[in-house]
Structure formats: structure tokens, C-alpha cells
Amino acid sequence: MIQVRQIRGSAAELQYIAGVKCMMDHDEKILSFIAKDEKISQRKLARLTDLSLGHLNLLLHKLVKKGLVKIEKTNPRNLRYILTPQGIARNAKRTYNYIQGAVNQVIALKEEVERIFEMYCSKGGIVYIDGEQDEIYQVIKLVVEDKYPPNVVWLEENWQLPQPDENSVVLLWQLEKEEKCKEQGINYINLLTVVDSR
């Protein structure tokens, strides 16, 4: 079920909230690029973060005030940006949260694939699986390989759509293939839509 939050407030309040979120995103990008290269120049950092030099300078000084970055002069013309222990911890936490989110998405995908297979295979139906061998394909393969072989048809690159059947479904994750199924009245499930709505 998709949850929608309604945001109320004046235009100025909403613009402020959006600005704070954007600034936080810029902070994270800046910390990430500094973590990768302490010798990064301010110009290169501005280009990578898509900020003006003035805006970047302002954000860097805010990060210094927050205790996340330290600025050292290496010579009269060059500066060096160093993450403080606090900055390293924040960058590590962001990385951890990203990995945790990715793992949660894989678990959600696995659970959804299992649910779909139980639902269709219990009725004697067939689950047709899109044949492109990417990461999603690999997750599906791990879930179904030993459990459901007679009820699985792996569709090839130039796949032919099955005849419409209420007990069978095409499992896909690409928009162009979804459109093809819609046009021909074939029962399908787009995994990305289902997993994203959880």
C-alpha cells in the first residue's frame, strides 16, 4: 500500500523545507567527495556538486562550524579539506544507511517474488519471467530455482508473449515489456512497481 503524506504550510514554509533538504543533500555530497579525495580543489568540488564557488564556500564553512570538516592551508594558494572524526562517522553512517536500504529492497523483492509464486503456482499456473540477466533476474533465480521448476518459464531476449490466462502471469521489471503485455491483454506484474509501493 502506498502511503502519501500531505504537506501543509505556506509557500515560504514549503520552500524553506525544500531548501533545508537540498542543503542536506549537498552536505552529504561534499562529505562524500572529500572522503574520496582530500586533495580535491574547491573548483572541482563545486563542479562535482553542481554548486557555484560562493555557495560551496558557504556550505564548507557551515560544515566546519558543525565540526565535520577541517580546512588546512597547504600553501598560500591551496587549501586541503579533511574530514574530522565526526565527519567520517557521518559519512560512514550515510554509507551504512544506503547499504541497509539496498538490502531491505532486495529482501522486499525476494518476499514479493515468493508471494507471487505461491499465489500462481498453488493454482497450477505458470509464472513467465523476463529473460534479461541483470541483478533482479539473479534474485528471482535464487528464489525460484529449486522450489518451482515446473511452474517457471524463463523468457528469452526476443520473447514471445504467452496466451492470456488468468492462472498465469508474466513477471517483469521493464516498462517497455509492461506496455507490450498491456496491449495484448496479458496478466503481468511489474516487480519494481510492486516493491516500490511497499
pLDDT tens for 166-198 read 888 888 888 888 888 888 888 888 888 877 665
Each domain of the chain, given as residue ranges in start order, spans 11-83, 106-196
In the chain, the N- to C-terminal Cα span, in Å, equals 6
pLDDT tens for 93-147 read 988 998 999 899 888 888 888 888 888 888 888 888 876 778 888 888 888 877 7
Which fold does the domain 11-83 belong to in CATH?
Answer: Arc Repressor Mutant, subunit A (1.10.10)
**Does the structure show a pLDDT above 60 at 13?**
no
**Does the structure show a pLDDT above 50 at 21?**
no
C-alpha to C-alpha distance for 109 and 194, rounded to whole angstroms: 9
Which of 54, 23, 191, 32 has its CA nearest to residue 110? 191
Count of other CB atoms within 10 angstroms of residue 171: 23
Q: Is the dihedral of CA 116, 120, 121, 123 positive or negative?
A: positive
Overall CATH class of domain 106-196: alpha beta
pLDDT of residue 159: 66
pLDDT band at 74 (very low <50, low <70, confident <90, very high): confident
Amino acid making up residue 166 = E
Show the cell assigned to 60. Answer: 564548507
C-alpha to C-alpha distance for 86 and 74, rounded to whole angstroms: 22
Beta strand ranges found along 10-141 (DSSP E): 69-75, 78-83, 127-129
